[in-house]
Amino acid sequence: MSFLWTITFMAIVGAAIGAVTNHLAIQMLFRPHEAKYIGSYRVPFTPGLIPKRRDELAKQLGNTVIQHLLTPDIFKKKYFNTSMEAKATRFLTQQLNSKILLSDKTISDWLKLGGLDNIASVANEKVEEQVDVQFKTIRARFQHETIRQLAPADWQLKADSKVKEIVEYVLLKGEDFFESEEGKMTVKNLIDDFLSTKGTLGSMVQMFVGESSSLAGKVQPEILKFLRSQGTKNMMENIVRNEWEKLKDRPVVEMMDGFNFDPIIVNVKSYLTNQLAIEDRLNHSLVHYFPEAAEWTQTQLVPKLTSFAFREAEEKLEEVLRKMKLEDMVKEQVDSFPVSRLEEIVLGISKREFKMITILGGFLGGLIGIIQGLIVFFTS
């Protein structure tokens, strides 16, 4: 009976020692949180292991995260793949179509969301301002520049080439006129007017040549002969050409003196306002102007943009992670945690395992106590 009692007692004592020892060892990982002092002497094993090695722990956690947990290869494998790219494409397409391209909101509504109210009135005012500015600019140019300076060179060349045609047209019309009855009457009236102004001399001439109609019949062929003469044509061409050259060197404002631009400006403003119809155009949705936009974005725009974004992000990933300095971020976060919070985190993860360690310590302590009891019994 004493043998069993001895074995049981030593087993209980050994189990208690093992369990308490392991439990104490686990507690010493975190506690005490701060160093304890007796006077100037620091008590051994204070603070606990983790608080004492907190800086090293934070640094090692940061290095572990960046080297093994959040590496570029893991990001590429997880996020930069065809499946994720397809999901991003579908998501962007859906959002663009539902929120923007196929939305019932008008362009005016979108502008209001951006803080732009009364955009139609503002746009019309800007158009009218630009009309005024452009007309002022034109007037300023007319004040100082000539036709030669303003008209394009090819226009001037075409006008030069038309001089001969104009002269031929004028002479031809002159021939037609003087060959007509109206032309004959005009010649007769001119002769009568001429002779009437010459007094006695005119009466004498009229007495010798007879009626003015017969004189007109003699003058008319000479006029036609004059108009058909090559010399007349050359003379007229020279006159017209010389006058045209002089005209090109005169300021445009001289030829437009007294011309009122105000009605033109008013009409231009009214025409532009009616043609632009800005307010009416802003009251339509995007799909009204771009009915194929949804299909185009789905088949062309979004896939290309997504592919480009994924490609660029993958190429820049390593650089971005390096610039983010994740290891420093982890270290700063761990450093900012209270030791009690670190203890909660570790115990929250490994509480069951720590309890099993305590139980294992008690079991081994009890087993050692039994072995010691047996040794004591057999050696005694």
pLDDT in tens, 122-138: 888 888 888 888 888 87
Q: Would the pLDDT of 200 be above 60? A: no
Q: At 295, list the tokens.
A: 């299909």
> Which residue has 């006008």 as its token pair?
159
Ramachandran angles phi, psi of 103, nearest 5°: -75, 150
For residue 356, pLDDT beyond 60: yes
Find, among 8, 5, 2, 10, the residue nearest to 372 by Cα.
10
DSSP states of 63-116:
HHIIIIIS-HHHHHHHHSSHHHHHHHHHHHHHHHIIIIIT-S-BHHHHHHHTT-
Count of residues making up the chain: 380
Between CA 126 and CA 123 the distance in angstroms is 5
> Is 170 a residue whose pLDDT tops 80?
yes
Which one of 34-48, 106-120, 303-317, 342-356 scores highest in mean pLDDT? Answer: 303-317
For residue 113, pLDDT over 70 is answered with: yes
Residue 357 has pLDDT above 60, yes or no: yes
pLDDT at 202: 47
> Within 10 Å of residue 296's Cβ, how many Cβ atoms?
12
pLDDT over threshold 70, residue 347: no
Residue 31 has a CB neighbour count (10 Å cut-off) of 19
Phi, psi for 290 (deg, rounded to 5): -130, 70
Q: How far lies 191's CA from each of 134, 200, 202, 223, 227, in Å? A: 55, 15, 10, 13, 19
pLDDT of residue 120: 82
Maximum average pLDDT range among 5-14, 86-95, 281-290: 86-95
For the ranges 48-52, 69-73, 255-259, 365-369, the one whose mean pLDDT is highest: 365-369
The pLDDT score that the predictor gives to residue 155 is 81
CA distance 157 to 133: 31
Band the pLDDT of 47: cuts 50, 70, 90.
low
Over range 323-349, report the average pLDDT.
69
Which pLDDT score, from 0 to 100, does residue 28 have? 72
The residues with which 41 forms a beta bridge, in sequence order, are 38
Q: For the chain, what is the largest distance between any 2 Cα atoms, rounded to a whole number of angstroms?
A: 191
Q: Is the pLDDT score of 317 beyond 80? A: no
Assigned token pair, 69 = 């947990």
Q: Under the phi-then-psi rule, with left for phi > 0, alpha for psi from -120 to 50, and beta for the rest, what region is 146?
A: beta
pLDDT of residue 44: 67
pLDDT at 208: 47
The distance in angstroms from the start CA to the end CA of the chain is 16
Give every CB contact of residue 326 below 8 A, 6+ residues apart in sequence. 62, 65, 66, 70
Model confidence at 257, pLDDT cuts 50, 70, 90, reads low
**Element holding 332 (H helix, E strand):** helix 326-336
Give the Cα separation of 32 and 339 in Å (integer). Answer: 10
Cα 37 to Cα 31: distance, rounded to the nearest angstrom: 14
pLDDT band of 339, cuts 50, 70, 90: low
Q: How many CB atoms lie within 10 A of CB 59?
A: 17
Give the single-character DSSP code of 302. Answer: H
Backbone angles phi, psi at 202, to 5 degrees: -65, -40
Rounded Cα gap, residues 117 and 190, in angstroms: 74
User: Which residues of the chain form beta strands (DSSP E)?
Assistant: 37-38, 41-42
Q: What is the mean pLDDT of residues 49-75?
A: 71
How far, in Å, CA of 328 to CA of 50, rounded? 19
| Section 23-45 average pLDDT | 72
Ramachandran quadrant class, 337 (left: phi over 0; alpha: psi -120 to 50; beta: rest): beta
Q: Facing residues of 42 across strands?
A: 37
Comparing CA positions, the residue from 256, 342, 235, 302 lying closest to residue 101 is 302
